[in-house]
Amino acid sequence: MNNSGPADAVWNEQGAGPERILVLRLYVAGRGPNSMRAMANLDALVKAVGRENFEIEIVDVLMDPERALQDHVLVTPTLVKLAPLPMVQVAGDLSNVYRVVYALGLDPGIEFRRGE
């Protein structure tokens, strides 16, 4: 594998590589404050890493409550990493940068500004 691009430094050994997309699903409850913070924080992370490395779906549980139940999501906001495996869930507004970066298997050295 040739590690020559700038995005290569973003991924750690156990996480995805630049040729692998992180597939994420964020469950929110409408436009409440915690949901808005989670979306802003996720957006800041995605900008820092590079949008081309992510596939993101946002599910509003107020509009589609069955979907959350089917996917075993009991609290919002919750971010679910669907791929690459293993599947991981992170509950909360994603303001704990280190927890989110670790859960997604990203390099802990990436820098980004939290969403406001």
List pLDDT tens digits, range 35-47: 999 999 999 999 8
Q: What is the pLDDT of residues 48-74, one digit of tens each?
A: 888 888 999 999 999 999 999 988 999
Full residue range of the structural domain in which residue 33 is found: 20-104
* Domain presence at residue 113: no
* Residue 42 identity (one-letter amino acid): L
Residue 26 pairs in a beta bridge with: 58, 79
Q: For residue 37, give the CATH number of its domain.
A: 3.40.30.10
* Domain presence at residue 75: yes
Q: Tokens at residue 72, please?
A: 């075993």
How far are the Cα atoms of 31, 72, 74, 89 from residue 98, in angstroms, in the given order? Answer: 25, 24, 23, 14
* Residue 57 identity (one-letter amino acid): E
Number of independent structural domains in the chain? 1
Structure pTM?
A: 0.78
Nearest to 104 by CA among 60, 61, 45: 45
* Domain presence at residue 6: no
* Domain presence at residue 8: no
> Whole-angstrom distance between the N-terminal and C-terminal Cα of the chain?
38
